[in-house]
């Protein structure tokens, strides 16, 4: 009886050690889907167009703000956001040059001179073009999911940028970004849903 008990204990210990070894070997393996893999997947699309609908919840208001319009990008560094409703506004970024058009007025400035714009533009532009260097320059990153359905979390590295934006969460399927959720430092939240369109599709009025 005693020998049987000792034998069972030894077997249990061996099983536990084997399980620990397997767990350790599994933890040592590199993740199959990470930031480099996601960026490689996104970088395969060199340009694109999409329609967007954005909802913004502002703490000082008792209702949600709605807007809609078009997005376009072209690698390596061109990004355009054109809001059509409720009023026409256009933001175009080429390299470090930012051009804003609103109410018949146009203003051009350097992107890095507008911290709140840097966070938004580089998060979206960097993701759309699969620019890993840009994302890692401005953000701490975290990737979840799989190539078929993924989520990318971005937290601004610099304290001055975190004073504007707490974090961004981009989600998508394969090589397409489908949603951008942004939480500002003051608690306001915006959610932009993106629907890719063909370059040859007729524009909606």
Distances (CA, A) of 156 to 24, 85, 115, 128, 161: 32, 29, 11, 18, 6
- Measured at the CA of 107, the angle between CA 103 and CA 108, to 5 degrees, comes to 150
Separation of CA 58 from chain center: 21
Given this model, what pLDDT does residue 193 score?
98
Distances (CA, A) of 82 to 7, 38, 64: 73, 26, 20
- Which long-range contacts does 60-63 make (Cβ < 8 Å, 24+ apart)? none
pLDDT, tens digit, 9 for 90 and up, residues 8-36: 433 333 323 223 232 333 333 334 799 99
Kindly provide the residue ranges of all beta strands, DSSP E only, lying in 86-146, ordered along the sequence: 89-94, 97-102, 105-110, 139-145
Is 35-197 CATH 2.50.20.10?
yes
Q: What is the DSSP string of 24-53?
A: HHHHHSPPSS-HHHHHHHHHT--EEEEEEE
Given this model, what pLDDT does residue 118 score?
87
The pTM (predicted TM-score) of the whole model is 0.78
CB of 124 within 8 A of CB of 180?
yes
CB of 94 within 8 A of CB of 80?
no
Domain regions of the chain by residue span: 35-197
Given this model, what pLDDT does residue 199 score?
55
Peptide bond into 76 cis (omega under 30): yes
Given this model, what pLDDT does residue 147 score?
94
Main-chain phi, psi angles of 147, to 5 degrees:
-55, -30
pLDDT, tens digit, 9 for 90 and up, residues 162-193: 888 999 999 999 999 999 999 999 999 999 99
What number of CA atoms fall less than 13 Å from residue 6's CA on the CB side? 3
Q: Residues in the chain, how many?
A: 205
- Cα 70 to Cα 73: distance, rounded to the nearest angstrom: 10
- Cα 20 to Cα 132: distance, rounded to the nearest angstrom: 35
What number of CA atoms fall less than 13 Å from residue 85's CA on the CB side? 11
Residue by residue, pLDDT tens for the chain (205 residues) are 444 444 443 333 332 322 323 233 333 333 479 999 999 999 999 999 999 999 999 988 889 999 999 999 999 899 999 999 999 999 999 999 999 999 889 999 999 888 878 888 999 999 999 999 999 999 999 999 999 999 999 999 999 888 889 999 999 999 999 999 999 999 999 999 999 997 555 444 4
Given this model, what pLDDT does residue 6 score?
41
């Amino acid at each position: 009886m005693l020998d049987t008990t000792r034998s069972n204990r030894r077997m249990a210990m061996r099983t536990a050690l084997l399980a620990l070894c397997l767990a350790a070997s599994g933890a040592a393996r590199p993740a199959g889907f990470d930031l480099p893999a996601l960026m490689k997947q996104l970088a395969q699309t060199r340009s694109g167009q999409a329609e967007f609908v954005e909802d913004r919840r502002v703490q000082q208001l008792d209702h949600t703000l709605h807007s809609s319009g078009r997005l376009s990008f072209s690698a390596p560094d061109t990004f355009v956001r054109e809001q059509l409703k409720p009023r026409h506004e256009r933001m175009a970024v080429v390299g470090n040059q930012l051009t804003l058009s609103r109410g018949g007025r146009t203003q051009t400035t350097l992107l890095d001179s507008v911290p709140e714009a840097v966070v938004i533009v580089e998060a979206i532009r960097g993701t759309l073009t699969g620019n890993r260097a840009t994302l890692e320059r401005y953000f701490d990153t975290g990737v979840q999911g799989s190539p078929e359905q993924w989520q990318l979390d971005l937290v601004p590295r610099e304290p001055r940028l975190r004073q504007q934006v707490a974090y961004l969460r981009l989600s998508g399927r394969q090589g397409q970004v489908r949603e951008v959720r942004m939480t500002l430092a003051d608690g306001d939240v915006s959610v932009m849903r993106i629907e890719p369109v063909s370059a040859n599709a007729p524009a909606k009025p």
